[in-house]
Chains A and B, each alone.
Chain A
Amino acid sequence: MLSKRVVLNAKNGLHARPAGELVKLIKSLDGQIWFATDARRVNGSSILSLLSLGLRCGSEFEVQAEGGSEAKNMQQVEDFIATIKE
């Protein structure tokens, strides 16, 4: 398993629309993606779990890639998160 600390720079935090797109991307990957905060760890293919983390602008969390082409999957998720601006 690969893991990496990431900071969310989206102005409005992770809200429904970008979360929907993120989950769609994660479901297309060949392995699992998890998100972990100090409090909880949730599966990236569940938008409800992901939204319930309440990630806001500046929130720091861990992305974990498990199974499949872990490095490639991690890169794609990381790149997508960096593009969420609003």
Chain B
Amino acid sequence: MRRFTTNTRASEGVAIGRAFLPRRRTEVTALHCGTASEHRAAFERALSDSVTQISALAVDDAIFAAHLEMIDDPMLRESVTTYIEQGESAIDAVGKAQSDIVAMFETIDDEYLSSRATDVRDIFGRIVANLGGGPFNPFDGIERGDIVVDEELLPSDMAMLNLDMIGGFVMQKGSQTSHVCIIARNHSLPAVVAVSEVEEIESGDMLIVDGEAGVVVVNPDDATIDQYRQKQSEWQIRCEREQAMADVAVFDGEHRRIWVNANAGSVEEVAVAIDKGADGIGLFRSEFLYMHTLSEPTEQQQYEAYVAAAKICGDRPLIIRTLDIGGDKALPYLPIAHEENPFLGWRAIRISLDRRDMFCRQLRAILRASSEGNVRLMFPMIASVAELREAKSLVEQCKQDLVESAVPFNPNIKIGVMIETPAAVFIARQLAMECDFFSIGTNDLTQYVMATDRSNAKVASLYNPYSEAVVEAVRMTIAVAKEAGVECGMCGEFASDADAAELLVGLGLREFSVNIGSIGKIRSRLAGLFRS
């Protein structure tokens, strides 16, 4: 029996099951026999197929043009053929050459430049697929209740995973905000990440995952299993009790409705949230459309995604936040120079107002979707009245375009502002005169009010939404909204913290937008406050 622990809060709950290690592409057993010259011929064929495919994509796309140069690089061919000559199969040789080249990139001391290893993985993935390795599912053979153990899982991996099947996750890398953790929390799956000892876990090992405590037990003895079965059933009972509350409308002492909305990062998550009883979507992060693609999504692609989400919501509100990227997250088609202070830099609305064509494509897509549901529009990172006015004037311009082309939209679409900078708190009164609603983003607000970089362990304890100053900023915002008659919600992590519910209700908050996994928890806590 071995026990590993971590301090990272990933996703709570207890899972007991067998370890399942996803297969990597290079482990595919096909194509393992044959002579060196047969392997060389197979590789050359796969390479030329890849060149043909990428050439078609590269016609008007500079990124694929660069991929074409990469795949045609003599270094790649030499590296693979050398491994084949040393007796490796074509598929293993490609895998080893990929590791060598990726390793070379990962030593670059610049996050943006070293992240180009992603391009390398992409072209190698294509060669492997053309070698006959794909279509390929890393989770083939997984059984119900298995616990997925890996270094990290990419969004493309996660897309192939049937989440209803599995028991939980143990990852070597990752943080509270990594993709796998968000998905795990939204599906109430226990997860523990940042476990450096993951390599010691073998496929088939019996595992206990305690997400709340950040503990993984490998091959536990019977007494330990019994102890955790007890904890697991307590957790399951709590979940069921909360889930039973998911559809119950909550009212305050004055019979005013308290709304429990959810935050969603994709159309699928919108569906899960509504299914789990959300009153609406208080924050629809539009980033998912822009990330993991090599070119900007078209207006039509965006429109289709927004409409799909709006239709799932029906009458319930769907608040679409315009693109919030920058600093720490760059896009392949929108390079962002290295910044000393990315969170104080070129991000969110600042990028949108500089890249007007891109911004207007998004605004038109949202406006068009507004004719198909209860769609609202929200701007991130507003710090001045001028920014809001400028953004609104672009909305007006887009409305005009749509009128001229006789495309339907909701002319009275509600426009809101994220309150996530201290500046926005101070000018809340002026902002309220120019918009229909506020949504308090406590994650950034805490970081900016407390002047604390939460990824810096030395000061992380200052990153606390319960700090007097943050609570005061929240209080001021809600009070101003009430006075001005604009709606005010909260979509930061603080709203998902059940222990904060009483405080927030006391400050006047009546609209919570929470993690999908917290809907029942927050609803039952709120209902408890007014049950008499």
A interface residues with partner B (beta carbon < 8 Å): 11-17, 19-21, 23-24, 43, 45-49, 51-52, 54-57, 86
Contact = CB atoms under 8 A, between A and B. Distances in A.
A44 to B, nearest CB: 11
A12 B69 contact: no
Interface in B91-147: 101, 104-105, 107-110, 112-114, 116, 119-120
- Most A CB within 10 A of own CB, among B65, B66, B68, B101: B66
B338 A52 contact: no
Contacts of B101: 48, 52
Given A20-B66, A47-B69, A52-B108, A13 B119 contact: no
B108 A20 contact: no
A24 B69 contact: yes
B337 interface: yes
- Most A CB within 10 A of own CB, among B70, B112, B338: B70
Contacts of A55: 113
B122 to A, nearest CB: 11
Given A13-B338, A46-B75, A48-B120, A54 B66 contact: no
A56 B113 contact: yes
- Most B CB within 10 A of own CB, among A15, A24, A49: A15
Given A12-B112, A13-B113, A16-B116, A47 B338 contact: no
Nearest to B123: A48
Nearest to A55: B113
B28 interface: no
Interface residues on B, range: 20 to 34
A19 B356 CA distance: 27
Given A48-B101, A48-B104, 9 more contacts: A11-B335, A12-B112, A13-B338, A17-B63, A19-B66, A24-B69, A43-B74, A48-B76, A52-B105
A21 B63 CA distance: 10
Interface of B: 62-63, 65-70, 73-76, 101, 104-105, 107-110, 112-114, 116, 119-120, 335-338
Given A12-B335, A12-B338, A17-B66, A48 B73 contact: yes
- Most B CB within 10 A of own CB, among A20, A23, A51, A55: A51
Contacts of B73: 46-49
A55 B104 CA distance: 13
A56 to B, nearest CB: 5
Given A51-B113, A54-B108, A56-B113, A11 B66 contact: no
Contacts, number: 78
Given A48-B70, A48-B101, A13 B63 contact: no
B62 A51 contact: no
Contacts of B335: 11-12, 15, 86
Contacts of B66: 16-17, 19-20, 47
A20 B113 contact: no
Nearest to A13: B113
Given A15-B113, A51-B116, A56-B113, A20 B75 contact: no
A57 B114 contact: no
Nearest to A12: B335
A46 B62 contact: no
Contacts of A56: 110, 113, 338
B63 A12 contact: no
- Nearest first, the 9 A-B pairs at minimum CB distance are A20-B66, A54-B108, A16-B66, A47-B69, A11-B337, A12-B335, A52-B104, A17-B62, A20-B69
Contact of B69 (A23, A43, A57): A23
A20 B205 CA distance: 46
Nearest to A20: B66
Contacts of B70: 16, 20, 47-48
A24 to B, nearest CB: 7
